[in-house]
Structure 1
C-alpha cells in the first residue's frame, strides 16, 4: 500500500520520441516502462513510496543524452533506465559512470557500451556480436556468400560490419561495402548489380534512407533474386509495413523475443497490445523488464545510488522473456544479462501484419 504523502522514488528514463530518433521504438519503450511503473504502484510502490518516471527525449543525439544524464543526476533520480540507440546509450553510459549514477540500458547492443569496465551500468539487451553472428550464420545457411551492406557512417554500423566480416570471411563469405550516404537508391542498385551479391543488408536509418532503398531494389528487375535483410530490426515496427506494404515482407531482422513468453509475458503482451493499439515490439518488453529489474533492486537495496549499483550482482527477476540475472561476460564492460532470447524473423509474405521466425538462439 502506498502511504499518503510519501515522497516518490524517481527514475530517469532516456528514449527517442522525436526525429531523427526511431520514434516508434521510443514509444514502445515508454509504453513498457509506464505499464511496469503502474503495476509497481498498484502493488504498493517501493516500501510505500510511489515510483515515478522523469522522461527525457534523446532524439538519437549523444550530446543530448549526456546533458540529460547530468540533469537527471542533479534532480536526484535514484537511477536511469532506457535508451534504444546504441551510440546514444554509449554516451549516456559513459556519463553515468563518470557521475556515479546507476544506468540500466534496456535496448542498445554495442559490445563496448563503455570504454572501461564499470560497476554503474547494467544491460538487458544482448551484445551486438552475439546477435549479428547468429544473423551471419543464418545468411550462410541460406546460401549467401557475397553479401552487400548499404551503410551510413556510425560507430554502430561499423561495428556491425566488422562482426559480419570477421564471422563470414573464415567461412567463405564476403562483405561488400556500399556507401548509403553518397549513393542514391538508383546508384546503389547499379553498384549492387555490379557486385554480384545475393543479399543486401540495410545498415541505415528508418524511414530514411531505408524505405527508398527497399523500394528501388524491389522494383529493379536485375535484382529480383537479391534478399534484403535488416539486422538492426527496422521491419519490427508498424511504420515499416505502413510505408512499404508488400515491398517490406521477407526482410529478416533480429529481435529479442522468446519462442514462448513467460506467464508474466503473456499478461504483459495483452496489456501492451491494448495500450499501444497494436502488437508490442520486443522494445516494449525491454522497457517493462527494465522497470521490473530496477523495482526489485530498489526494494532490496533502497534508493542509495551506490547500493543500487552493488545490486546488479545479486538481483534475480522473473521478466517477460525469462529469468533476468546479470554477470560479467568477457569482452563486455557492463553488467550483462547473459542472455536474452534472440530470434531472426521477417514479415510473412502471405500476411504482412504477421511475423515468421526464421531462426533463434537462447
Structure 2
C-alpha cells in the first residue's frame, strides 16, 4: 500500500469558501522510503507543502482550500501506477511531483491514459512519454539539455579521456548515450564501465570499486563519471578512487546530482568534495527565491536543494492554472501553453521542445557545481549553461 499523507489548511479569507466546504485536491507522487531516494523526496515534499500553505494563506483556490494528497512511490513504477489510479478515483484535479525518472515515466503514461494533468517536478528523462501528450508538463530540464552542458564543462576543463561507471537502467543508459555522443563528436574518448561486471568472482561493492580503479588505470582516464546509485556502489567507488595513489589526478563527477544532498557528505566526508554535478538553480536567487529558500531551510533544518525549489514551483504553477481555469482536468491540461508564472528560479513558461513529447519549461537555469574541499557545505559554481 502507498503511504497516505494529506496536507490541507483552511484559507484565511472569510466568506469565499465553497458552499459544500470541499477542497481542491492535488495528488503528489514522492519517494519517501527506500529503495527510493528518500532524502530527495523529503526536499520535494517540503517544497510542495510550503507552496500549498502559502496558497491557502492567500485564500486558496477561489476561496476553497488547496489539499495535497501525498503517495509514497518508493521508486517503484508499479506502486506509482497504482497511486495514480487511486488519486484519480479520489478526484484530484492534477498530479504533481516525482523525482525518479523511470517512476515518472510510468506515472506520466498512466496519467495520459486517464486524462489526468501531471506536472512533473524533478524527473529529467527525455522520453517521459512514448508519444506526444497534452496531459503532461515538466519543470525539470530534459536530460539531454543538462547533460550536454555537463559534457561541455568536461571539455572546457581539458578532459579528453573520460570513463563512465554506469549501471544498467533506462535512465543511466540514456545518460551514457547523451555523454558519449556529445563528447566523441568533439574528439574525446569515452570508455564505459559496468561496476556490476567488473569483479567476476566477488560481487561486493568494494570488489567492484577496486576493479573500476584498475580499469581507470588501464584506460588512462582523466575523469570518471558516476552513473550509479547512491549510496552504493557510488560511495565505495569514490572512496577507492580517492585512496588509490595511481589515480591522484583523476576527477570524479556525478552529473545526476548525488552530491547535492547532505547524505553524500555524511557518507563520504572530505572524499565527497570536489565532485562536480548538475544543479538547477540560478547563480543568484531573486527576492521570491530568497524568501522561499529561507522558509524551506526552516522546514528542512538544512539548506534546501534545488529539488525543494522544484516542488515549490510545481504547486505555484498548478495553483495559477486552477485559479484561472478551474479544477476541470481538461481545462488544466489546456492551460500549459498559456502559463506565465514567476517561479523561484525565473519566469516559467511551457513550450514544445524538439524530441520531447510533454510540455516543457525550456529551460530552467543549469549549473555545474561542486562542494568546496575547504568548506564542504559551500557550493562552488564551475560552469553555467
- Total equivalences in the alignment: 361
User: What is the TM-score of this pair, normalised by structure 2?
Assistant: 0.92
Whether the aligned pair in 2 keeps the contact of 1:6 and 1:48 (CA below 8 Å) is no
The answer (yes or no) to whether the contact 1:298–1:308 under 8 Å persists in 2 is yes
Cα distance in structure 2, aligned partners of 1:23 and 1:46: 30
The DSSP-based 3-state class of the residue aligned with 1:182 is: helix
Distance 1:250 1:240 in 2: 12
Alignment match, 1:274 = 298
Residue of structure 1 in register with 2:310 after alignment = 286
CA distance, structure 1, for counterparts of residue 311 and residue 217 of structure 2 = 41
Q: TM-score, normalised by structure 1?
A: 0.98
Aligned to 1:196: 220
2:122 paired residue among 98, 107, 113: 107
Which residue number corresponds to residue 155 of structure 1? 170
In structure 2, the partner of 1:8 is 23
- Separation (CA, whole Å) in 2 of partners of 1:301 and 1:261: 29
What SS class does the counterpart of residue 93 from structure 1 fall into?
helix
Q: Distance in 2 between matches of 1:275 and 1:343?
A: 25
Residue 61 of structure 1: how far off its partner (Å): 1.0
Residue number in structure 2 paired with 1:249: 273
Displacement of 1:287: 0.1
What does the per-residue CA deviation read over 1:41-88, in whole Å, with 9 as the maximum and x for residues that have no partner? 000000011011110111111111111111111111110000001111
Question: Any residues of structure 2 matched to 1:58-207 within 5 Å, and which?
Answer: 58-183=73-198, 184-207=208-231
Matched, 1:31 2:46: yes
Q: Counterparts of 1:143 and 1:87 in 2: how far apart (Å)?
A: 33
Partner Cα separation in structure 2 for residue 95 and residue 110 of structure 1: 16
Distance 1:360 1:177 in 2: 26
CA distance in 1, matches of 2:64, 2:233: 46
Q: What's the CA shift for 1:174? A: 1.6
Higher mean C-alpha displacement, 5-14 vs 19-28: 5-14
CA distance in 2, matches of 1:31, 1:351: 26
Give the whole-Å Cα distance in 1 for the aligned partners of 2:327 and 2:81.
22
The reply to whether residue 301 of structure 1 matches residue 316 of structure 2 is: no
Alignment gaps of 5+ in structure 2: 1-12, 199-207
| Cα distance in 1 for residues equivalent to 2:154 and 2:39 | 28
In the alignment, the residues of structure 1 paired with residue 195 and residue 277 of structure 2 have an alpha-carbon distance, to the nearest angstrom, of: 19
Shift of 1:182: 2.5
Deviation at 1:3, TM superposition (A): 2.6
Give distance in 2, aligned partners of 1:73 and 1:324. Answer: 26
